[in-house]
Homo-oligomer: A and B are copies of this chain.
């Protein structure tokens, strides 16, 4: 396993237990999990039960008033629900990544404070009144916009997932990281508000020779990516808000490009410039990075779409089963850069038998989908897997299928089926079965 340059996760975090790369043979995998008629949770209440007789302090004494926290914060008991970085992963935290605690979250919306971060030169702090967005290159009118100018264009609102192309990147070479936060935590989903990129480009007037767009960030790395005009004019947004409020600094405040369904690196943060050209620029982040190196040494470029993917978030290594046998809620996330998720299948026996999961909550194109599968656990070991199918009919592949097609050199675009092993004690581990 190679340590790669700044920015590409390459191996297990020191602050997480290293999975032992266990490999399981599919043959004779399980006895017969599930289907105990497990009685529920909740216990019968008798007279004199402490639940009746004990009065807690919080029933006795009043708490803080409405002026205590003008901007609210999570409960002190949720201090473990945080983004986590991995110190050895990159040379410096200013060109690094941290991960969303997917195993602690519900539904499809990621709270702004828990959206994973990826910077190339640290969190840029921009005074919004001083910020400008420039459009130049092959246009009729070169233009510059203040934030106030932008807010005079019609606004649109969309929930979209944002996934780093390197999410699950370490899994190419086998099960490495013991936690869904680290294997899959470079994805989040928020509702963006902004203006259509098309409206700004129309205002500038794109020349007929203008077929590509270069988006540039105002941070010290001056992050730049080439985007084909067809995508720019289709559904891209120049966003200034996420989940109702202004973008967070680490997510590009005051302005970021939203490129629905495409790899996160293209969603330029701290957006300052849009140049129109007639060919791609082949910047660093689309040549030496964010291309897919195949087994024969050839690299695939412009693999922008984040293909259909899913993962079980609970149970998972950071969220073992602690309640013993009986009723168990399995929960997970699915998404596709191609649109909505049509179906998620779940297996608890390593892919021998599949069950259709229940998708709950809104099903929005290019947004996270939440799925559930409820079952009675009989206490035997389980091999949990999920497999998503998107609206174009694409089916999430196995990791081995991916390796057959693309080798093991790549870091990016690993949408393979994840397997979690559940032991009789409820502990969960990242494993592969073949």
Residues of chain A whose beta carbon lies under 8 Å from any beta carbon of chain B:
40-45, 49, 51-52, 56, 58-78, 81-85, 87, 92-94, 96-98, 104-115, 117-119, 121-128, 130, 132, 134-136, 141-146, 148-159, 191, 193, 200, 203-204, 218-222, 240-241, 243-250, 253-254, 270, 272, 322-323, 326-329, 331, 358, 360-362, 364, 370, 372, 374
Contacts and interface: CB of A to CB of B under 8 A. Distances in A.
A58 B220 contact: yes
Nearest to A331: B155
Contact of A360 (B85, B124, B156, B329): B156
A112 to B, nearest CB: 6
Contact of A246 (B74, B151, B159): B74
A123 to B, nearest CB: 4
Contacts of A272: 59
B114 A248 contact: no
A162 to B, nearest CB: 14
Copies of this chain in its oligomeric complex: 2
A373 to B, nearest CB: 10
Contact of A119 (B63, B361, B364): B63
A248 B87 CA distance: 30
11 contacts: A63-B220, A64-B123, A67-B85, A70-B84, A71-B74, A72-B250, A106-B155, A107-B244, A152-B328, A155-B360, A243-B243
A56 B130 contact: yes
Contact of A44 (B68, B97, B143): B143
Nearest to A55: B218
A253 to B, nearest CB: 5
Nearest to A39: B203
A45 B273 CA distance: 12
Contact of A71 (B56, B82, B203): B82
A151 B153 CA distance: 44
B107 A94 contact: no
Across the A-B interface, give the 3 residue pairs with the lowest CB-CB distance, nearest first. A65-B93, A63-B122, A41-B149
Contact of A143 (B45, B81, B191, B364): B45
Contacts of A58: 124-126, 218-220, 270
A44 B142 CA distance: 6
A17 to B, nearest CB: 20
Contacts of A60: 220
A52 B159 CA distance: 33
Q: Which of A111, A327, A370 has the most CB of B within 10 A?
A: A111
Given A70-B84, A122-B64, A246-B75, A193 B42 contact: no
Contacts of A121: 62-63
A223 to B, nearest CB: 11
Given A59-B219, A123-B68, A141 B44 contact: yes
B56 A218 contact: yes
A41 B153 contact: yes
Contacts of A145: 41-42
A40 B203 contact: yes
Contacts of A362: 159, 362, 364
Contacts of A110: 244
Contact of A220 (B62, B135, B374): B62
Contact of A106 (B92, B218, B244): B244
